[in-house]
Structure 1
Amino acid sequence: MTGQVLFPRLTPSRRAILRLELEEADSPGDVVFALQALQDAYDDSSAFPATGGRRVTIGELIEFRTRCLEAAERVQTTSEIERGQLFDLAIGRVIYDSTRDSRGQMGHPQVWDFITLVLLRDLASARFEPSRSVRAGRFDGGSRRHVFQRLWKRWQSLGPDLVESGRLTEDDYVALMERKITLERSPVARAAANAIVSSRLTGGQRREYARILMRHLVQISGIVAVGGEDAEHLEVLFAHLDSSAREALRERPSVEFAHAAG
């Protein structure tokens, strides 16, 4: 693919119908992919915006789906917890690689509605139980908890090296990806992630360290410019933030016990 490739957007009326189907599903096995539903959503007159770019073809969408299915199949023999983590890693990689020519499209909630409710509906339901996950916003495009969009954001903001290293926990991702300053500025996100990893903390202390670090980062961004153009500036800034976060932790010696008890 070359140039800007446009992904279809799911119209609100179709979204409502397909979302209700998932909400009423008794189990993930009841949710199946339908080629006709894909064709119908693709052919909808409102599926593609009136902007420049080439429309992705049905064949390319099927190829994308096939790569996702193959990635999911490779993690089926692991334990439930490991399977979820490896599923996220494998599917995130495919989505990131398959949408490199469509980055401008991936910020639109209706694109994620199409991917989740039409193209990968069975995989989404295999990852998170459908009826409860619909109500929790897991399948709502634009939601911070979205089954697939949250994975794409990780790869886009942090880059393959950090994501594939396995050094970041789910709590780390939450701390990093829920702040606009790191979500929208990749060098800052990577610097923050490296600070969390380099802290060598675990459990409740790590969660608290990440929370304090990010809070201080947001606060200091209102005083000084925090960008990604000057690597040396970021290094000095995060050395300061690390020091201030550790100082705050020392004032809360029982934090790890408190998290464990909670």
Structure 2
Amino acid sequence: MSLLYPRLLIEQAKPLHEQYRTLGIEELGHRAGTSHQSAIYAATGGDRVSTGQLAELRSGVLQLATQYGFPAESSRGARGEFDLRLATYLHLGMKVIPAEAASGDVWAFLALVLLPDVAYWRYPQPPGDRVLGTDITRHVLGRLWWRAQLVHSPDEPDSYKALEVLGEAALDQIYTRRKALGGSPLVVKAILRTWTTLELDGLEERAVLRDFLQRLLRLSPFVAFEALDPVVLEEELRAVAVETMTALRAVSKDRVGPIPAGAGE
């Protein structure tokens, strides 16, 4: 069963964000709620989430956040671990389909109405796109659900293990290019499987991934990655990754250049 969540349109979300960015975490907690007078729902597609289910979702997120320092300040490492666990929790607990999760207004409601204290704790005084839903790839909650959606492997013992393959910045590189690569969990998971087999041997991970994805983007108009047999897909990805590493090693070697005669004497 898929659920429909309340949506907070940008006209109502922006004024709330302007108010909330200057408030303390405790005050934001007092303002949290399971409904908003201006919230709307999609006309079709599932059952509306109940206030009880929203309250349960809030309670679960609060319990999780508390383990990582909420409401006090936390370390970068703790926030990263919180994100990993929250991605799994949201994906398992929200019971939404991708079409519903693609609405930024849903995420605006969750960040500004249901969980404002957690949202502004995770990103103190955030820019608007962290809470408004104008860019889900940067939204405090939305980006995590979509990461989990793209890597979820129900046939694996740990179906969300792939969330740990790359760090946040690297996952963002893949996520922001998902449309050009077909927006397919199949393709994303194949990219991650390929990545785990690479031996970088001193190459910078971020540079390798960036070049690798750029090469895939250049191929995407000519190769229907989603239509490839899984074995063929991984062979193609592996070949592109090897091209990337070969090219980067050549550039690195050229920068070093030949050793001048007499050096080290």
Superposition TM-score tier, normalisation by shorter sequence: 0.7 to 0.9
Structure 1's 161 and 253: CA in aligned 2 closer, same or farther, altered over 3 A?
Answer: same
Q: Does 1:186 align with 2:185?
A: yes
What is the deviation of 1:215?
0.6
2:87–2:145 CA contact under 8 A, matched in 1? yes
- Paired residue type of 2:68: V
How far apart, CA to CA, are the structure 1 residues paired with 2:184 and 2:139?
Answer: 20
What is the deviation of 1:107?
0.2
How far apart, CA to CA, are the structure 1 residues paired with 2:100 and 2:66?
Answer: 27
Q: How does 1:5-84 map to 2 (within 5 A)?
A: 5-25=3-23, 27-34=24-31, 37-39=33-35, 41=36, 43-44=37-38, 47-76=40-69, 80-84=75-79
Q: Does 1:90 align with 2:88?
A: no
- Paired residue type of 1:162: A
Q: Does 1:151 align with 2:147?
A: no
How far apart, CA to CA, are the structure 2 residues paired with 1:255 and 1:156?
Answer: 41
Q: How does 1:129-140 map to 2 (within 5 A)?
A: 129=124, 131=125, 133-135=126-128, 137-140=129-132
TM-superposition CA deviations, 1:195-248 (whole Å, max 9, x none): 333324388711111011101111111112211651111121112111111111
Q: Which moved more, 1:89-98 or 1:58-67?
A: 89-98
What is the deviation of 1:256?
11
Q: How does 1:170-209 map to 2 (within 5 A)?
A: 170-179=168-177, 180-182=179-181, 184-201=183-200, 205-209=204-208
Give the match for residue 227 of structure 1: 226
Q: Does 1:122 align with 2:117?
A: yes
TM-superposition CA deviations, 1:2-53 (whole Å, max 9, x none): 2x3110001333212211112333x444432435x533x1x54x51122242
- Paired residue type of 1:106: A
What is the deviation of 1:183?
7.0
1:153–1:183 CA contact under 8 A, matched in 2? no
How far apart, CA to CA, are the structure 2 residues paired with 1:24 and 1:69?
Answer: 21
Structure 1's 153 and 203: CA in aligned 2 closer, same or farther, altered over 3 A?
Answer: farther
Q: Secondary structure at the match of 1:152?
A: helix
Structure 1's 64 and 102: CA in aligned 2 closer, same or farther, altered over 3 A?
Answer: farther
What is the deviation of 1:134?
2.6
Q: Does 1:105 align with 2:104?
A: no
How many residues of Structure 1 are paired with residues of Structure 2 in the alignment?
245
2:21–2:120 CA contact under 8 A, matched in 1? no
Give the match for residue 240 of structure 1: 239
How far apart, CA to CA, are the structure 2 residues paired with 1:116 and 1:256?
Answer: 47
Q: Which moved more, 1:198-207 or 1:113-122?
A: 198-207
Q: TM-score, normalised by structure 1?
A: 0.84
1:33–1:119 CA contact under 8 A, matched in 2? no
1:187–1:227 CA contact under 8 A, matched in 2? yes
RMSD: 2.6
Give the match for residue 168 of structure 1: 166
Query: Percent of aligned positions with the same letter in both sequences?
Result: 25
Structure 1's 12 and 224: CA in aligned 2 closer, same or farther, altered over 3 A?
Answer: closer
- Paired residue type of 2:184: R
How far apart, CA to CA, are the structure 2 residues paired with 1:118 and 1:12?
Answer: 13
Structure 1's 60 and 226: CA in aligned 2 closer, same or farther, altered over 3 A?
Answer: same
How far apart, CA to CA, are the structure 1 residues paired with 2:105 and 2:253?
Answer: 44
Give the match for residue 260 of structure 1: none
What is the deviation of 1:122?
0.5
Q: TM-score, normalised by structure 2?
A: 0.83
- Paired residue type of 2:106: V
| Structure label with greater radius of gyration | 2
Structure 1's 233 and 245: CA in aligned 2 closer, same or farther, altered over 3 A?
Answer: same
